Amino acid sequence: RDRRISTKDISARSADDPIVALTAYTMPMAKLLDPHCDLILVGDSLGMVVYGLDSTLGVTLDMMIAHGQAVMRGASRACVVVDMPFGSYQESREIAFRNAARIMAETGCAAVKLEGGVEMAETVAFLVARGIPVLGHVGLKPQSVHSHGGFRVQGRDEAMAEAIRRDAEAIAAAGAFAVVLEGTVEPLARAIAADLAAPVIGIGATPAAQGQILVSEDILGLYGEFTPKFVKRYADLGAAAAEAIAAYAREVRAHQFPAPEHCFGVVPAKASAKVK
């Protein structure tokens, strides 16, 4: 396929042909994901994964735009979506539009994602009607970590389950091209995926969803601070990197690196012996 995957293509997907999604914050990661993923999310999880913050609340619009630009340079095929950070869309639909428009114009991405349900539906409809495709995000909403009382599985009691169901429906009805459903008990997630008009992209949700997303650093073993139960680790690149770094340090200290082949011109004999 030579055409970039669009939000319309994503909207048309079903569980028979699930949406494969991962996060990227940089050009090299985007390049690795692009041949394999339908959707690449520039997630505000970068605040925790790249910047070492405790939550996503400190992420700024400028950070999202800089990383969105980097990801766009590495992705030519996947549908790239950029997260709207905390504080950039909650205040009013007009402010949301202005900030979403900046993200779209300055990165060239296909869509934005924002967290929220019933209370954000009007904003989602406002953006969608004005040419900005929106990916919803309901269930566990990391930007609401303080309201949730921690990173907690959502939907355990019936009242909360009903609220999440209404949130997903409101965002789909507002015109979101798909909805991320995070950290939600499986039977509820399954029911939402079965009933919702828009495809559900699950993370800690259900195998019955129309798509799946995870944080790339989590599946690659590159983020060790906190690994939720829903993450499957497909590689341990963190351990491989630690070994490589230790080997470099050993060789520099032992005067084994650089060797003559890493130098320009002729290296005198015994150059590798300890100088001084």
Which residues are registered as beta bridge partners of 130? Answer: none
CA distance 194 to 208: 8
Q: Is 119 a catalytic residue?
A: no
CB of 104 to ligand KIV, least distance (A): 18
Residue 7 interacts, among ligand KIV, Na ion, none and using kind-specific CB cut-offs from 5 to 8 Å, with none
23 binds, among ligand KIV, Na ion, none (CB under 5 to 8 A by kind): ligand KIV
115 is in an annotated binding site: yes
> In 10 A of CB 238, how many CB atoms?
15
Asked whether residue 141 is marked as a ligand-binding residue, the answer is: no
Contacts of Na ion in 8-47 (CB under 5 A):
43-44
215 binds ligand KIV (CB under 6 A): yes
Report whether 45 belongs to an annotated binding site: yes
Cis peptide bond upstream of 35, omega within 30: no
Nearest C-alpha neighbor of 20 from the set 182, 199, 196, 184: 199
Q: How far apart are CA 64 and CA 43, in angstroms?
A: 8
Say which DSSP state 260 is in: G
With respect to ligand KIV, which residue has the nearer C-beta, 43 or 116? 43
Given the structure tokens 């669009």, which residue do they identify? 6
Q: Does 180 bind ligand KIV (CB under 6 A)?
A: yes
Choosing from 171, 203, 205, 222, the residue that interacts with ligand KIV (CB under 6 A) is: 203
- Is 83 annotated for ligand binding? yes
Among 34, 38, 83, 167, binds ligand KIV (CB under 6 A): 83
24 binds ligand KIV (CB under 6 A): no
Query: Tokens 């929106």 identify what position?
Result: 134
From the candidates 158, 182, 217, 251, give the one annotated as an active-site residue. Answer: 182
Of 112, 231, 239, whose CA–CA distance to 183 is shortest?
A: 231
Amino acid at 51: Y
Give binding residues as ranges.
44-45, 83, 113, 115
Residues with active-site annotation: 182
